[in-house]
Structures are given as structure tokens and as C-alpha cells.
Structure 1
Amino acid sequence: MLVSLRKAVVVFFVCAFTMLAVTAGESATLTATNEDQEAVEWQLAAEKVSTLNDADVIEAEGNVVLKQGNDYLKADFARYYAATNWVYLSGNVEVFMNNDNLSAETAEFDLGKKIGWMKNGKVFMAGPHMYFSGKRIQKNWGDSYTFNNAKITVCDGDKPAWSLNTDKATLELEGYAVINGADVEIRDYPVLPLPYFILPVKTRRESGLLRPDFGSTDRLGFWVTQPYFWAIDQDRDMTFYAQYMSKRGFMPGVEYRSRTSSENQLWVRADWLNDAKTVDDTADASDFGYNNLLRTNANRYWVRGMYDGEFPDPRWKFKADIDLVSDQDMLREFNSTTAGFDDSQAEVENRFGRSLNDISDPIRTSRLLLTRDWDRFGAALLGEYNQNSALGHGNKKHSTDTTLQRLPEFDAYLFRNRIPGLEQIPFTLTADFQSVQFAREEGTDGNRIDVMPMLGLPIVTSYGTITPEVGMQQVWYNTTDRDPLTTETGDDSRDNRTLFKFGVSGYTELARVYSYEPTLVATQDNAGETELLGLKHAIQPRFEYRHVSGSNESDTPNYDYVDHLGNEDELTVSLVNILTRKRAMVLSGDEEKGIEPSLQTLYSELLWFRLLQSYDFEEAKRDEGTLIEDESYERRPWSDLEGELRFYPWSNVWFSSRTFYSYYDNQINRHDHTLTLAAPEYGKFSTGVDFRYNLDKNLDYAGTGLRNLNVWKNRLSVDMFRPLRLEAYYEYDFEKKEAYEQSYSLIYDHQCFRLIFKAKFTPFDDSYNVYLELPGLTF
């Protein structure tokens, strides 16, 4: 019955269109039956439509289009067999079916089941941007294909930069293409046979071998890393690393990632090595170690990770960091490999917005932090473990460790606001509370409680704002193990300290606007043009006075900066100049959509300049005869005059600078300058100087042994020779008269692969790396 009805419908439409004889084109509705015995209608349009054998066969010629929903078939000629649902297509065949683009010389399809075959055909999958071509392509039920004499590539064009050539391949969308036996071809020339490989053809993440990395360094020899990626689900994955170094041995690693939201994510990685090299003698430390420290351990590892957790109540937050390492050399020795510090640092900064301790810091910090915020109150619970990686393995014993552990620490904060219950009074109240339990292997430890309330009175007038504050800081010590370090002068017997605090700050702004007559007209010819409409010059004078007095710090336990707080009496004044420009830019219109060109107003900072000066009344009274770190220092109550500048003359040029002038040395003692030039079509260049002079006369550097620092840093990226790109970094130490670091990268960006050559040179090691990225290729 269904077949008879279908024939009747087809005969009716074909006869109707034949009688009408519309010369501009003809159309019809074809009804096919799918695998569930349901009717599926295809709309047929062509320059000419005719019927044969009492409408059992329908032929269409000239710009033939068959359409059903979002799917369509196009060809120069089509013949439809009503009894079997099959359509034959020839001449410039194009097919869009199930979101796939297919093209061929000739093809046949069952319009109901959407199965068929193609001769000399090609399938393009937009999701993975991948082409599959073959002399014969069989489209199976669902999203499965079988290819004979197949070529597979992600490259556009008739002669791809690389491809895979195989006698037979099977493919399933949102699945895999499985190939048994193929040749890797470069520009259609076979270069490497592969007995078996898999291509993931999914838009979702899939498990498989990732791109191998390899390189060479003086310390490690030739190294190669092969990662395997395991997509556990859409929120979690793991990567297993197999890394071999010719001079050091095999170093496996594992990485785990999960992310269910921006507030709930985890990243952790661990690497382990049974090192073929150890440092048993200080004479070898220059080759395999640092700072004349030994490393007698062959068992080496690094575990690092971070976690952000969320609760049903979003005001609760939980964060965790882990950073444990076997020795002081681990991070620096393997930094050039995929297990290196730089890659891990970039990962946590991008994911969590916080960093690991610096690569050269032997102290590795792991912590747990739980926080809760209320409207006016906040609290935090912290546990922190600081590992001194320079202890053990042939160096000082762990029993001599003076590194402090904060286990636990509790902090509470009363945010600045009116006094609760007395909101009608203009006073503000802030308060900090901290209780820390300090522990360490050697040295005094115990509990410290720190309470600091501050009362303020903001005075706001039309001329500016002045805010005086007064408060007190009270510190109590509950010492459980009194063991003063040999570097301390006191006996750690004191059980409390009281500091009284007073401060006042002030701020105002004077501004003037300079306007210019607009002349820019919003026309299509002026699209993208800009014009200066005005400048605003703002002058912001500020001052801050801070006074702290109370009991001295002698005989107090020495844990951190809180225990070193002393008397303060300092005035700081600054003057800020800001130039802000107002511009108009013509936005392009769209005639087809009826959108006229228009003017858009833009605001941007042109210049920011600050002068800052301090006077330390306490320093003016200091006894010059008192030795500090076994040295005497002359009184210098006036701070260096600081000038800071940010200048943006053009959108592709900007300059930043900080300069410090000393009245006592009658010279500039510090420079920080950076100039950046950027042009999207050419590249980017930045150069800067970091300069420090007379550090031995600066109390902040007492005991460091530093005198001068003078470093020149340059960074270059050249994009004008695309697809070739050049990146370079050069850092020169003028004091040591040597290049501290040089790196050069040559990058070839192709539509279907990326080739990177990188060389890096430091006084510690030289490394050479090569990276080849072939999108979608999994062996």
C-alpha cells in the first residue's frame, strides 16, 4: 500500500510539472522510505525533469539539486529509481550529508537510508579539518565509510604537503579512521611506511599518542619524549610521558587534569628518574650541580600541581598547591625538556593565575588554603610546608633545617567600613587577626598571635580627600621550644610586643580638557580613519605619612617580617600627571543590511608620569656607628627621587621607564627602561635595560654582597616572511661581560603542519630542540 501511494504521489508531481513546462526550471517531490519504514521527502529541482517507465524512473538534467532538511545532493545529471529509493548522480557531484562534505565524479545513494558509493570521491570533515579521498568510497549505514586506494590529509590543495596513502581504510565519524598499512608521503613522494595507525576524526577529545618531542643538550645528550593522551571523559584526562635521555636514562612522567568549572579544577604532574649521573665531589658540581652543592642521589623526582575547589556556597573557596622535589638541581637540569619548569609554570599561571616558586629557589612551597567571605568579614585557614631541597643527598642533614613551616595559620579580616552599630558616625574600622603555629627542625618555634585594629576618619571635600588613621598592633608569643639561631643576637625570651600606629593620607586632582573641532565625516571612504577630538590633562598630588612606635624587637623570636617590624616615621609625596586622549573613528557600514557608516568615540591613555619622594625621620636619627651585617652605613633619610613614565605615542609603540636619582651619590643609581615596537604584519621587538648601581650603600641589600647589576634584555619576533617566523631572545650581563641567555627559534607555520627549530644557550647548558606538529595524526 505504501509503495502504491508513493508511486501515485510521484506520478502526480511529475505530470503536473511536465504539463506546466516551466522553462526557468522544474521541480518535484521524491518520497523515499528510511530504515524505519518511514516516508522521507526530498525536494528535486533542475533545469529539466522527465519521467520514464510510468514514473518508475525520473531523470533530471542541469544544476540538479536534491534537498532534504540540511542535507543536499548536487550534480549535472541525476536518475532516480522510485522502486528502490536509489539515485544515480554524475558530473560535478557534491554531497552534504550528516555535516560532511563529499565530492565525486559519479555516485549512487539510497535516499531513504542515506547509504551509497562514490567514484573518484573525496570526503571533507570540517571538525577535524581532514580530507579522505579514494577511487571508490562506500558510505555505509550511519556515519561509516570504506575507502579503496585512499589518501588522507589535513592539508588543503591538490598536492598536499603531507598525506597518508593506503590501499584500504575504514572511517567512522565521531570515532576513528583505522588504516592497516600505509605510506607517509611528502608532496606525494613516499618517505616512511607505517604498518598500522589510527586517526581520530572526532570533534571531541580522544585518546591516543601525541606528537613526540625531541632535542639535544650538553648535559642530557639526545632526548626524546613520547606522550600518550587518555581522554577519561569531557572533564578529565591524563597524559603519560615516556622520556629517554642518552646521558641520563629513562624518565617517565604522568599528568592529570580535570575541570568541571572555572572554580573547580585540578592539575598535577609527576616525573621520576633513576639518574645515571650523580655529584659526589664538589669538583663535579660545576658540571652537574649548582653552588658547590652535592647531589649523591640517583633517585630524582618532581611532583607539582594546583587545585581550585568550589562549594555549594560560592563564598567558600579552597585552594591547594603542591611542589616537592628530590634535590636543588632537578628543576634547572631538565628545564629544556617536556618535564621542565618553564612548561609547568606556564600551565599553572594560565589555569590558576598563580605561580610556583622561582626555578632558582631551593625552597619549594606546598600549601592548603580555605577561605570564607561575609559582607564585612573574611577568614582564611592555611597550612604551609616549605621544603628545603638543598638539604640531604650529601649536603647538610635535614635535622639542621631552619626552614619555617606554618602549620596551621588562621587569618581573619574586618573590611574597611563604618563601625557596626554606629554607622551614623563617619569613622571607619578595619582589623586584622592572625594566629600562626610555627615549626622547624632547628631553631625556636611556637605560636604567635597578631591583632591590629585601625580607626579612620575620611574627610571628603570638593578640594580633595584626607584620611587620618590610628591603631595598634599587639603581638603575643607562646614559645614551645626556645632555640635561638646562631645568626640571632637575642635569646627569644620575649612574650609580647606592642606597636602604636598613626597615619594620614591625602589626595586631590586638578584637570583641564582641551577640545578640538571635529572634521572627520562618517563615510564609507573614511572607514577606519581616526581623528583627535580632545586631550584631558589631570594632575594628582598625593601624600602619605606613616608613624609607628612602641617596644623594640630585641629578644623576640624571629619568624618572619612581623617580628622585624620596628619604629617608622616616614613621609612620602608624589605628583602624577595623566594625559588622556579622546578620538573618533569611522566604523564601516553595510549597504546590504542598511547600516550606515558611523563615528565611534575612543578613549586611551597617552602618557602617565609620576614623581615620588620620601623622607625617613627614623633614618635621620639612626646611629651610624651601629654595624648592620658587619658593615656601617651613612644615614640617608632622603629616598632616591623616583620618576616613572608610561608613554603610548602610537598604537604600535609604547615606552615604560623608571629612574632613581640619589642626592647622596649625585647620580642615577637605577634604570628600568623598556621600549616596544609592534606591527601585526611585520612582528614585534622590545628592548630594555635593568641597571642597579651602588647597591653596597643601600640598606635594603645589606649582606647580599651585591654592588652593581646591569642587564640588557632583547626580544624579537619577525612575522613579515610568513609562513616563516623568527623569534629571538638575547640577555647580556654587562657586569660579568657575558651573554646570560640566548635563544633562537625558526618557526614554519603551514596550513597543515608546524615545524619549529629552537636553540638555547646559557652558561649552564646548551640545548637544541626540533618540534614537528601534524594536526590530527595519531600512531
Structure 2
Amino acid sequence: MMNGFLRLLILSILLLNIILTPVFSKENVILEANKVTSIDKNTVVAEGDVILIYKAVLVTANKIIYRKDKNEIEAFDNITFKDDNNNYLTAQYLKLNLSTQKGIIKKAKGFYAPYHYFNASTIEKVGDKSFRLYEAEITACKEDNPDWSFKSKSAKIDYGEYFYSKSATANIKGFPMLYIPYFVWPIKEKRESGFLVPDIGVSSKTGFFITPKYFWNIDADKDATFGISYFQKKGLLYNLELRYQKTDSEKFYFYGEYIKDKDITFIDDERWRLFSNTDIYLVKNLELRINLDYVSDFQYISDFETLSLNKVIKENKDNKFKTDLRLIYHTTYSDISLVYKDDMQFTDIYDGYNKEHLYRKPQIIFEKNNLDIKFFKIDYYADFNNLKSTTITNKINDEFYSTSTKLKREHLKINIYKPINIKIGTFTPKYTQYYTRWHDANFKFSGKDDNENIFLKLKTDNNSVERFIYSFRLKFELNEIYKNYKTFKHSIYNSFEYIQTPFLDQSSIPSLIEDDKIYEENIYKYTMTHYFKSKNWNLKIEFNENYNVVKNDERFEPFNYKIEFNYKELLKIYKNTNYDFYEKEPFYNKDYIKLTYDKFFISTELIFNKNITYDENTSWTNSIGYTYKKLEMSISLKKSGYREKLKYLSNDSLTTNELIVTGVYNSDCWSLGLQYHKKLNTDISSDSISSKYDHIFYLLISLKGIGDTTREIYKR
């Protein structure tokens, strides 16, 4: 039996040597094939399932001729070429110097990571990472007849850099649609400087528009984008975007745009927007914070928000803006800030608009949190304000009104507290003392003194108001109570809190900023949260109840409860309600349900806020969507209006309709879609003001490897 095994082993070794014959050259070339023949001392011919390995290069072919003196190969038929950069090509003929990585490739198709496909009748390999292509085509589509591509008589590829092309055509399914004399396409994952693909279209508001922009990759952690957008009706809009990510927590971001609008009435033609979200240390312990979103006029958002090149700024429906500039010096016991703030809001009126400003001229703030003073902890805050509140009314008949309030204010707040860990939870007593003084106002103060004690008193004269007031709270948070069941875990968290702020007659105190009015409180709070978690679903239920002793009756404040439920990716339910026991109804409610099954989804959302008495307080949005093969379709209808109380499945008072219809076709390497919006808009001109429905169409385009855009193409 052993002799039979030895014969089989020897026969297998002999067959393996016949099938794969390796040849090792002085250049560390590994060559394996079904048949290897040495023509002379310098030339080797390998035939049948040939594999050649040289450093990081792998070549396979039906036949390879290797010349040792030149370290050169010549390959024929069914050739594949791979390198360590995940690049891959197939060809019918290849001649390559392995040392210099230069050579000729014919009838080739290739792939460059991450998603670039190309082919050419002839490829000249001019270096390790550079190719020249003749009769070439490049695309991000896998198909032999790609949905879109760029073709060129002469082109160049630098791996990890660019695809350069002369006399190129943009093609759809092989049919030329656009001639491009010179074309550059980045074929890399890392960022590089260069022109970005512009948005081009036609809008009823702006006419024809084009948005060329240039991206400057300054360094790995910083870059900039410059743009000059042309709008036929309005003129040139200049854009600048700067980004610097110093660390995970430190960043600088700025965006600005400016236009001298030739198609505007009633307001100034020089229009702009500034936005910044910055938090960065200039030097050790010196921090700069900028929170800025500011515009030139009340119509800027409605005119330019959808046309902006910026994708960072969130939608601003309320026309609220802010400037908050802070320079902070950090020390062990205090953070000292120099602050300038300006809060602004525009509101429409029946014949114009109001503009409200609250300026805080450069002020000094001293503050620190979580100061550990051995037996307890301290938070403190002290500021010195010079305030100016201004309301400006502009009417379309050129009437102009302005009112302002000015005053100075010093404010101090100190929190003293101590978390005490006990066996079943954490108990935290907390005492807060306030001191505030208002003076040097452009009006006379009036009111009466109230002197309860040294920590609770009010002193008033014509020129100033001085207030001392305090509050204290006791909070007890129980540790998690949980139980692991067979299929899920149930956790419970409970907290109890008591808050008391004594009464003080503050009728003489102005109310402009935070902590101006501090109202009497005598409240007991209870919160209970349940968490349920399993493999396929999770549920969170939270209850909050307040009992306010200050009130003479109806002491139970609205009961708040939240419910969040998720089942896999199929079902999502959310509910948030503030329920008034005495009115027997909610005064705030939000319900949201979304069902997703395979390629279909349906959702509904109802929001009611009884506290809003001057505007629409109810909205009901229903959405439905379906994906059929590569086509995505969705419809969203939002109805809104004013209601006295929460009602379901009733449209009696929901008179405002907003409709969004979207259809998108998605291919493997591109998508094309159309979106229709119907929404209510206020239109103010030099002689009239009106509300009307805008009908807007947007074109949605995405090309893999190039980018995507959403642009307004028609509006009436």
C-alpha cells in the first residue's frame, strides 16, 4: 500500500512539473506556463495559460516572449494586466519593458479605481502610472455600450490624477451630443484643484443661468471654492467658500455671496449673504467662535436660497438671522469672552415688512462651569451688556418708521450644587443666585421696591432697576432598573425634581434678553423612561409630569409623553404630545408614521401647536413613494392652516396646499429626474403685495464620478 502511495506521489510531481514550468530571471521575474521553451540564452517563449509576475505587476496571456537582456515581455491574445493599485486591463497585444514600465498595448479595455472604465485601439504606456490613449473612450458605466461616455481621438491618463482629452465628444449610448475641444476629468479619490462641473439652466426668476466654479485644494485640511454665477435677469453673483478642518473639534468655515441686482424694486440693489460656523484656537487658550448667518434684505432668502452654490446652510423658513462673534480666553478659573451679537428677523406685513434688531454691542463675559471646590461644584456667569433693540417698518408706499430701546445691563448668575451618589441613584441639590442691574436707558424706569431679604429684593428709581432673586432645586435620579427577557431587554429610568423660585414683583423690569424676567416657580417634576430593545425592534416611552404649586387651580401642567418605535426597516412610529388635563385635549401634538415594504413607502405626519395664535398652527403632510426597477416616484402633499383644537382626518380649516412630485430614473452610473413644487409665496413689489402659489420645476441630474445638481428650470 505504501509503495502504491509513493508511485502516485512521484507521478503527481512529474505531471505538475510538465504542466507548470517556472523560470526565474536575474530580474526576479516569475514565469509559469503549460510549455516553456528557451530559444537561446537570452529569450524564453511561454505558451498556454501563461502567468508572469514581476514585483507588483501580474500579466496573463496565451503566449509571452520574455527577453532577459532588456527585461522586456511581448504578450499575445487574451491578455490581462494588473498592478498593485487595483488597475486592470485586457488586450490582444502587449509589449512592455518591465524595468521602465513603458510599452505598447493594442485593442485594450481597462478599469481604474474607484469606478472609471476606458478602452482604446492603442495605448502607449509612458511610465509606471501614465498612459497615452488613441481612439479612446472613458465612462463610469460598466456596460460595453455605456449609457454615457466621453470619446477622444487622443487622450492621456495619469493614475490617481486626471484623464486629459483633446477633441472630445460627450456621448449618450454612443451617440455624440456635445463637442468639447479640451476636457479634464479627475480619476482619483483624493481632492484636487480644478474647475467643477457648472449648473446650467433657465429659470423664470433669473432667466438663463450658468454657475462656473473653481475648487482649490490648498492642503489636506483646507480648501476653497470660487464662483461667478451668471443670471440673465439679475446679473453676476460672486461666491466664495473657505474651509479649514484643523482637528476633529476645531474648524473654520465661511461662505459669502454678493450681487448687484439689476432686477429688483423696493429694496437696495446691492444684495448679499454671509454665513460662518467657526470654532478654532488662534493660539493656546485663545479661542475664536463665529456663528453667523446674515443677509442684506427681507427677500434675499426667497430669491436666492434655491440658487445658492452652498449646500451647508439649512433652510431658513422663519427669516431669522444672527451674528455671534466671540473671542474667548480660557484660564483655570474663568473663561473671559469679548462678544458681539446682533439678532435680526424680517416679518411680512400687509403693505411691506418689519425688520427687528437686537444689538449687543461688544460685551465682556466671565463664566466657568463645573468648578470643583472640594465639597461642591460651581457654575458662574457674569456679563456686561450695552443693548439696543430696534424695530424698522418699511412700506411699499415709501413710508418708513423706526423705534428703538437702549439700555445698559450687568448680570451675574451663580450655581452651587453637589451630586451625591447613593446606593440606588444620584441626589443633586442646587442653589442659583441672580443679580441684575439695568440703567442708562433712553426711557424712565417705573415701579415699586420689594425688599424681602438680602437674596430677594428689587430696588427701582427713574434711572435704574436693581434685582436680587434666587431659586433652588433638588433632583433625584434613580439608577437603571432592567430585566433581560428571552427576546428583549426592558430598562426603566426614573427621576424626581423639585424647583422653587420665590415671587418678586418684576413689573418694572424690561424684557429684552435671557434672564431678564425670572418668574415664580414651585414645581414638582417626575420623569419616567422605558426602553425596550430586541434584535428586530426597539421602543422608547417617556413620560413627564409637572405639578405647579404656584397656581391657585389647575396645578397639573400639561402631561408630556413621547413614543418612538422601530421595527427593522419596515415600520417607524413617533408621537410627542403635551396633553392638558383640564381642557381634555392636547395643546401640542406631533404624530409620524412611516411604512416601508420592499420598494414601496407611505408616511403621514400631523403637527398641531395651540400656542400659535397668529399664524397657521397645523400642518398635515402625506407622502407616498414607489421604486419600479430603476424608476423612483414619490408624491408629498402638505396641507396647513389654523385650528382651534387637534382633529384627525379633517381638512376643513387646512386651506394652504403645498405639493411636491418627484420622478427619478437611476442607472448604474447616472440618474435623471424632474421635481415639481407648488408652494405659497408672498410677492412684494414697488406698488403691491400679494400671496400666490408658485409652480416650480427642478431638474435633478447625477453622473457617477462627476457629481450631481438640483436646479430650478421653470417657475411661474
The counterpart of 1:276, out of the listed 228, 252, 262, is: 262
Q: C-alpha separation between the residues in 1 aligned to 2:696 and 2:572?
A: 33
Q: Secondary structure at the match of 1:618?
A: coil
Q: What is residue 625 of structure 1 aligned with on the other side?
A: none
Identity rate of aligned residues, in percent?
A: 19
Q: What is residue 413 of structure 1 aligned with on the other side?
A: 368
Q: Does 1:367 align with 2:335?
A: no
Alignment of 1:222-301 (within 5 A): 222-280=208-266, 295=267, 297-301=268-272
Q: C-alpha separation between the residues in 1 aligned to 2:385 and 2:134?
A: 72
Q: What is residue 570 of structure 2 aligned with on the other side?
A: 652
The counterpart of 1:460, out of the listed 396, 399, 422, is: 422
Cα shift readout 1:396-416 (whole Å, capped 9, x = no counterpart): 999xx7523152241413427
Cα gap change, 1:497 to 1:277, in 2 (>3 Å)? same
Q: C-alpha separation between the residues in 1 aligned to 2:463 and 2:522?
A: 27
Q: What is residue 450 of structure 2 aligned with on the other side?
A: none
Q: What is residue 618 of structure 1 aligned with on the other side?
A: 550
Q: Does 1:29 align with 2:24?
A: yes
Q: What is residue 711 of structure 1 aligned with on the other side?
A: 619
Q: What is residue 436 of structure 2 aligned with on the other side?
A: 475
Q: What is residue 688 of structure 1 aligned with on the other side?
A: 605
The counterpart of 1:439, out of the listed 371, 374, 387, is: 387
Q: What is residue 563 of structure 1 aligned with on the other side?
A: 516
Q: Does 1:115 align with 2:112?
A: no
Q: Which amino acid letter does the alignment assign opposite residue 121 of structure 1?
A: A
Q: C-alpha separation between the residues in 1 aligned to 2:238 and 2:197?
A: 16
Cα gap change, 1:452 to 1:240, in 2 (>3 Å)? same
Q: C-alpha separation between the residues in 2 aligned to 1:28 and 1:449?
A: 87
Q: C-alpha separation between the residues in 1 aligned to 2:167 and 2:344?
A: 53
Q: C-alpha separation between the residues in 2 aligned to 1:492 and 1:770?
A: 63
Q: What is residue 283 of structure 1 aligned with on the other side?
A: none
Q: C-alpha separation between the residues in 1 aligned to 2:628 and 2:462?
A: 66
Cα gap change, 1:110 to 1:161, in 2 (>3 Å)? same
After TM superposition, give the deviation of residue 325 of structure 1 in Å.
Answer: 1.5
Alignment of 1:159-170 (within 5 A): 159-170=145-156
Q: Does 1:385 align with 2:341?
A: yes
Q: Secondary structure at the match of 2:638?
A: strand
Cα shift readout 1:617-659 (whole Å, capped 9, x = no counterpart): 3332xxxxxxxxxxxxxx7543223333223455532322123
Cα gap change, 1:667 to 1:115, in 2 (>3 Å)? closer
Alignment of 1:87-126 (within 5 A): 87-97=73-83, 99=85, 100-126=87-113
Q: C-alpha separation between the residues in 2 aligned to 1:403 and 1:537?
A: 46
The counterpart of 1:608, out of the listed 525, 541, 546, is: 541
Q: What is residue 660 of structure 2 aligned with on the other side?
A: 743
Cα gap change, 1:675 to 1:545, in 2 (>3 Å)? same
After TM superposition, give the deviation of residue 241 of structure 1 in Å.
Answer: 2.4
Q: What is residue 72 of structure 1 aligned with on the other side?
A: 58
Cα shift readout 1:131-165 (whole Å, capped 9, x = no counterpart): 23211111113432222221222211211111222
Q: C-alpha separation between the residues in 1 aligned to 2:352 and 2:542?
A: 50
Q: C-alpha separation between the residues in 1 aligned to 2:484 and 2:100?
A: 73
Q: Any conservation in 1 of the 2:632–2:664 contact (CA below 8 Å)?
A: yes
Cα gap change, 1:255 to 1:608, in 2 (>3 Å)? same
Structure 2 portions without partners, runs of 5+: 1-13, 391-403, 447-459, 643-652, 682-693, 708-716
Q: Secondary structure at the match of 2:52?
A: strand
Q: Does 1:137 align with 2:69?
A: no
Cα gap change, 1:582 to 1:205, in 2 (>3 Å)? closer
Q: C-alpha separation between the residues in 2 aligned to 1:472 and 1:387?
A: 27
Q: Secondary structure at the match of 2:301?
A: helix
Between Structure 1 and Structure 2, which shows a larger proportion of strand residues? 2
Q: C-alpha separation between the residues in 2 aligned to 1:57 and 1:323?
A: 73
Q: Any conservation in 2 of the 1:214–1:771 contact (CA below 8 Å)?
A: no
Q: Which amino acid letter does the alignment assign opposite residue 571 of structure 2?
A: V
Q: Any conservation in 2 of the 1:443–1:485 contact (CA below 8 Å)?
A: no
* CA-atom RMSD in angstroms: 3.4
Q: Does 1:726 align with 2:633?
A: yes
Q: C-alpha separation between the residues in 1 aligned to 2:668 and 2:164?
A: 24
After TM superposition, give the deviation of residue 221 of structure 1 in Å.
Answer: 4.2
Cα shift readout 1:46-72 (whole Å, capped 9, x = no counterpart): 1111121x3232111011111112112
Q: Any conservation in 1 of the 2:50–2:60 contact (CA below 8 Å)?
A: yes
Q: Any conservation in 2 of the 1:494–1:555 contact (CA below 8 Å)?
A: no
Q: What is residue 773 of structure 1 aligned with on the other side?
A: 702
Q: What is residue 344 of structure 1 aligned with on the other side?
A: 312
Q: C-alpha separation between the residues in 2 aligned to 1:169 and 1:453?
A: 70
Q: C-alpha separation between the residues in 1 aligned to 2:203 and 2:242?
A: 28
Q: Secondary structure at the match of 1:335?
A: helix
Higher relative contact order (CA 8 A, sep 6+): 1
Q: Any conservation in 2 of the 1:493–1:555 contact (CA below 8 Å)?
A: no
Between Structure 1 and Structure 2, which shows a larger proportion of helix residues? 1
After TM superposition, give the deviation of residue 339 of structure 1 in Å.
Answer: 4.1
Q: Any conservation in 2 of the 1:404–1:559 contact (CA below 8 Å)?
A: no
Structure 1 portions without partners, runs of 5+: 1-18, 32-39, 281-294, 347-355, 517-531, 584-601, 621-634, 696-700
Q: C-alpha separation between the residues in 1 aligned to 2:445 and 2:201?
A: 47
After TM superposition, give the deviation of residue 608 of structure 1 in Å.
Answer: 1.4
Q: Any conservation in 1 of the 2:344–2:357 contact (CA below 8 Å)?
A: no
Cα gap change, 1:542 to 1:97, in 2 (>3 Å)? closer
Q: C-alpha separation between the residues in 1 aligned to 2:674 and 2:30?
A: 54
Q: Secondary structure at the match of 2:550?
A: helix
Q: Any conservation in 2 of the 1:497–1:551 contact (CA below 8 Å)?
A: no
Q: Which amino acid letter does the alignment assign opposite residue 506 of structure 2?
A: E
Q: Which amino acid letter does the alignment assign opposite residue 473 of structure 1?
A: Y
Q: C-alpha separation between the residues in 1 aligned to 2:364 and 2:624?
A: 45
After TM superposition, give the deviation of residue 242 of structure 1 in Å.
Answer: 3.0
Alignment of 1:151-166 (within 5 A): 151-166=137-152
Q: C-alpha separation between the residues in 2 aligned to 1:82 and 1:459?
A: 79
Q: Secondary structure at the match of 2:680?
A: coil
Alignment of 1:511-550 (within 5 A): 511=481, 513=483, 515-516=485-486, 532=487, 534-536=488-490, 538=492, 540-549=493-502
Q: Does 1:673 align with 2:591?
A: yes
Q: C-alpha separation between the residues in 1 aligned to 2:412 and 2:16?
A: 96
Q: What is residue 597 of structure 1 aligned with on the other side?
A: none
Q: What is residue 291 of structure 1 aligned with on the other side?
A: none
Q: What is residue 324 of structure 1 aligned with on the other side?
A: 294
Q: What is residue 688 of structure 2 aligned with on the other side?
A: none
The counterpart of 1:46, out of the listed 18, 30, 33, is: 33
Q: C-alpha separation between the residues in 2 aligned to 1:457 and 1:96?
A: 64
TM, length-normalised to structure 2: 0.80
Size of the aligned set, in residue pairs, is 641
Q: What is residue 505 of structure 1 aligned with on the other side?
A: 475
Q: C-alpha separation between the residues in 2 aligned to 1:234 and 1:502?
A: 50
Q: Secondary structure at the match of 2:319?
A: coil
Cα shift readout 1:515-541 (whole Å, capped 9, x = no counterpart): 44xxxxxxxxxxxxxxx2x55363x55
Q: Secondary structure at the match of 1:276?
A: coil
TM, length-normalised to structure 1: 0.74
